[in-house]
Amino acid sequence: MKKTILLLAVALFSTAAMAQGERRSNEDRAKMRAEMVKNQAEQLAKDFDLKDDAKTAFVNLYTEYQNELMAPMAERQRGENAEERGERKKLSEMSDEEITNRIKGAFERQEKMIEAMQKRLDVQKKYYAEFGKTLKPQQLMKIFGQQRPSQGQRDGQRGPRDGGRGNFGGGRGGFGGNGGFGGPGGF
């Protein structure tokens, strides 16, 4: 009896938590994101030892950059419809027309993703030029460089994703060996 009550309480709690997460409005998400971007900008300004007007100008420009950078991906996500995110039938249960439509839909989504990526690249180039007017190359690298590397990568070691073989040496997504082009599981 106690186990049943405990299980019901856990189920009720998890359901309530999920519902609360779904109720979080787009406005709340936007506020949280804006706060996060502002904190990032202020931390970078502190790292760059910017003061007063230079700090304010940097924080404003960085905020503008981040908002513009995220816009293409947000547009793409808004463009997805419920059908694309819904449950999918098994291949054996689909008609030839449904399969053809799924393949064509995948091509269209890839095209939209490429367009969004191109827009992001254009934004990055634009703001690289803006930030480059006042920041040093080392500072620019903190803004435009790769995502924060793991501790091993900072120490000059290869990360786990490349299997210790570099980006072209096989591994998942590489050009040779296991999982690469022509390898097991590759293209």
Reading the chain (187 residues) residue by residue, the pLDDT tens digits are: 566 565 555 666 666 666 555 556 778 888 898 899 999 999 999 999 999 999 999 999 999 999 998 887 766 666 554 445 555 778 888 899 999 999 999 999 999 999 999 999 999 999 999 999 999 999 999 999 864 444 444 444 444 444 444 444 444 444 444 444 444 444 3
Per the domain annotation, does 149 fall within a domain? no
Structure confidence by residue, pLDDT tens digits, 138-164: 999 999 986 444 444 444 444 444 444
pLDDT at 15: 64
Say what the pLDDT of residue 8 is. Answer: 56
Distance separating alpha carbons of residues 90 and 80, to the nearest angstrom: 21
- Structural domain that includes position 58: 27-79+94-144
Q: Is residue 87 part of a domain?
A: no
Euclidean distance between CA atoms 27 and 25, whole angstroms: 5
Phi first, then psi: what are they for 35, rounded to 5°? -65, -40
Q: How many helices (H) and strands (E) does the chain have?
A: 7, 0
> Rounded to an integer, what distance in angstroms lies between the CA atom of residue 128 and that of residue 143?
9
Whether the CB-CB separation of 69 and 123 falls below 8 Å is answered with yes
**Calpha distance 163→175 (Å, rounded):** 13
In the prediction, which pLDDT does 84 show?
53
Flag whether 115 is in a domain: yes
Predicted local distance difference test score (pLDDT) of residue 55? 93
Does residue 118 belong to any structural domain of this protein?
yes
Residue 8 in any domain: the answer is: no
The CA-atom distances, in angstroms, between 60 and each of 66, 127, 137, 178 are 10, 12, 20, 47
Q: Is residue 19 part of a domain?
A: no
Number of other residues whose CB lies within 10 A of the CB of residue 116: 18
Query: Residues 6 or more apart from 8 whose CB is under 8 A from it?
Result: none
Instruction: Tally the domains of the chain.
Output: 1
pLDDT of residue 90: 84
Q: Which two tokens stand for residue 106?
A: 């995948």
Check residue 14 and give its pLDDT. Answer: 65
In a domain, 164, yes or no: no
Domain presence at residue 86: no
Residue owning tokens 């109720």: 23
Interval 104-128: pLDDT, tens: 999 999 999 999 999 999 999 999 9
